[in-house]
Structure 1
Amino acid sequence: MSTHTVLSTAVESTTEEKNSEFITFLHPVTSREEAMAWVDVYRKQYPDAAHVCWAYVIGNTRQPQTQAFSDDGEPSGTAGKPMLHVLTERDVGNSLAVVVRYFGGVKLGAGGLVRAYSAAVSQAVNAAVLVAVTPKVECIVSVDFAREAKVRHLVSQFQGEILAVDYAAQVSLQIRLEEAQLDAFSVQVVNETAGTAIVKLSPLNPP
């Protein structure tokens, strides 16, 4: 998994289409529960709105942990899905988009709705601050005492972080480093320790 971007702070924006008002809220979220809690907030805040449509994507937009959307009474596929599409296309991970629509009396038709909801979220994303996230993994290196210093040196070379060290029959170092570096790091550890070190993924890592 490569570096991806996530939403940093909440954003609010408003667009208008044929007298219908679309109020868009973007929120950083890390779980479905958090996303649904925000949706409830806006349902209560705008009880007289015609529709409160939403879409969220958790994690890396290219390989999301979870994602979902709702048209909230708009014709199927005209609101939530286009909203999710914008979040995915623009690489806005860990985000919830909520669009509150006040009907202006003029029907937009299916194509018009898709454009309106897409434009509403696009405008909010234009104002959003995204931050880059590099996936990290944890591994455990077991090595004899004489070679501990070599492993520590490699950890610093790979800009990793030693989380814990356990001294038993051997030294076990729990290390966190960028996922993309893991293979190269493992090869170097084995080479530098003449094949005596064992590198294994920490059981805490997600599958």
Structure 2
Amino acid sequence: MPASSPDAAVQCTVLPASARDPQGWLVRETEIRRSRFLTYLGRVEDEPRAREMIAALRRRHHDARHVCSAFILGPARDRMRSNDDGEPAGTAGAPMLEALALRETAPGRTDLTDVCAVVVRWFGGVKLGAGGLVRAYSESVSAALDTTPLVTRSRQAILAVDAPHAQAGRWENELRAAGVAVLDACYGAAGVRLRVAVPDSDAQRAAFAARLADITAGAGRAEPIGTEWIDHD
């Protein structure tokens, strides 16, 4: 099994875009021994969103025999669920989940997360057997992933920098010029709060503190206010 890096500061997820589906899900269809398999992949932020996607597809394809699903959630990939939806136990949801969990986004790296896979099946009259079902559901998800755009995201430390009104514009411009991601600027009566993102490591936070001190002549201070996963372009 490829090594996973759930605690790393970089991971991949599905790009939330598609020209084929109005919900932004990516779709791939295949036929195996007269059974029709329609696979959907979607980016989901939490379990309620994943279950909403599954429920929506169940309503959309109410005439299908099975609507099987699997999803992985969280930076640590610690929430994994699957459902066979009437197929023999272990022949649909589990192989779908394995296809997601073992997907390599780079050599030796399996870090795909915040993704839901739904495979809709219309029975064509020919039984596939347990082994055939496992292969069909696993390969349906793997083949869909082959054509799915992924995006890399990284864990960023979010810092607040309070600036005087007279200096806020210059500080923001110089931070941006130095390659710092300035997320927003909130203007208040006492001053301006700049919210910035830097890679979440001690070295990067120290480098930012030094850069900020240089730009502000020692007047600026960075207050940590949390972390966020931010997509890379």
**2:58 aligned with 1:40, yes or no?**
no
Cα shift readout 1:9-42 (whole Å, capped 9, x = no counterpart): 3222222334333221223333322322222222
CA RMSD of aligned residues (A): 3.5
Q: In structure 1, the residue corresponding to 2:10 is in which secondary structure?
A: coil
Closer, same or farther: CA 46–141 of 1 in aligned 2, 3 Å: closer
Identity level (%): 31
Task: Give the equivalent residue in structure 2 for 1:125.
Answer: 145
Give the Å deviation of 1:193: 6.5
Aligned to 1:42, the other structure's residue is in SS state: helix
Aligned length: 201
| 1:4 correspondence with 2:12 | yes
Can you give the 5+ residue segments of structure 1 that lack an aligned partner in the other structure? none
Q: Give the TM-score of the pair, scaled to structure 1.
A: 0.73
Q: TM-score, normalised by structure 2?
A: 0.66
2:70–2:118 contact (8 Å) kept in structure 1: yes
Of the three residues 157, 175, 184, the one matched with 2:178 is: 157
CA–CA distance in 2 between the matches of 1:162 and 1:48? Answer: 46
8 Å contact from structure 1 (residues 14, 24) kept in 2: yes
1:74 partnered with 2:87? yes
Q: 1:173 to 1:158 in 2, by over 3 A?
A: farther
Deviations 1:91-139 (A, max 9, x none): 5544321111233332422x33222111011121222222333443321
User: Structure 1 190/55 Cα, relative in aligned 2: closer, same or farther at 3 Å?
Assistant: same
Partner-residue secondary structure (3-state), 1:201: strand
The aligned residue for residue 194 of structure 2 is 174
Residues 13 and 115, structure 2, Cα contact 8 Å, conserved in 1: no
Deviations 1:43-65 (A, max 9, x none): 233334332101123455xx337
Whether 1:116 aligns to 2:136 is yes
User: How far apart in 1 are the matches of 2:198 and 2:96?
Assistant: 31
Residue 198 of structure 2 contacts residue 208 of structure 2 at CA under 8 Å; is this kept in 1? no
Query: Unaligned 5+ residue runs, structure 2?
Result: 1-8, 19-24, 106-111, 229-233
Contact 1:158–1:185 (8 Å) recurs in 2: no
